[in-house]
Structure 1
Amino acid sequence: AYSRVNETAGKPLENANLDAVLASALLNLEFTLEEASAVVTQDPLPTLFCDDVQIGQVFQNLIGNAIKYRSAEAPAIHISSVRRGEEWIISVRDNGIGIDPKYHERIFGIFKRLHGRELPGTGMGLAICRRIVERHKGRIWVESEAGRGAVFHFAVPA
């Protein structure tokens, strides 16, 4: 999956309504969300010139991580967007276990995991997210502290 993100034979970019892209991602996560008693809320999202399947994968990975790395509380996840100059910043906020700032860059590396075998996963999810966002000429980052949830942001051209 990681090596296929930049394939030029992939789907061409086109205008996609991110509300619909998110709805599709949530449908794919329906069982996981239900099992975790997760609540997902959102603000209206923009239409972007993008690969809707790949941006859907970014949403799925970020929301899936919010569930996987949850705290003792039921996961509460909120998706929002803001236009800043020539870009849209999409944010996925959660109330999970958070991430110590010293690991903020490391978590986007391929096969990088902070929780070893304690939790399932390959360590590729955030690396794939970064690759997808970079394919869209954007950037991705996290704001978080251990024990205080996380906000993952990705910015892409408007």
Structure 2
Amino acid sequence: MKIMAILAHPDLNTSRANRALCLELQRAGVLLHDLYGAYPDWNIDVKQEQQLLLEHDRIILQFPLYWYSSPPLLKKWFDDVLEYGWAYGSGGDQLKDKAFMVATTTGGSEKEYRSGGFNRYTLSELLRPIERTLTRCDAEFLPPFVTYNTTKATDAELLQEAQRYAEIARMPSELLMS
């Protein structure tokens, strides 16, 4: 299974958590594709991005949670790359049977992301627009990998979480869905 992680972090140098996650993915042989590094001018090469999607079986969308959503360049990536007639709509079947997973980080605790908690909603609920976008393209949407409490985590805790992430990223879909 060929796996690619699309990283959407506007300032990776300041992120202990996302850097740790990226390092473990790379050690596990996962291709890391940094959107902010590749497109500092925000001019996305749509054909190149589509080709990368075609070359991989599982695509991980990794980003820090920004105001209950993804960073803006990832939203632009969705808008530009997932074209009508290519990803969805008449003749748009290029993502059929591809598996997508969201990996996100948040400074808040899991307790804060519960129905009735401080943020009112679970992370799964907040990720529904991404889930629906991908399932509209006939892709499989795997359960998200969420790293909570990133601002309070020690380096050892982040390393342990990153190792767990790299292991889950390579698991067969059937195991992740059970």
TM-score, reference length from structure 2: 0.31
More strand by share: 1
Instruction: Report the structure number with the largest CA radius of gyration.
Output: 2
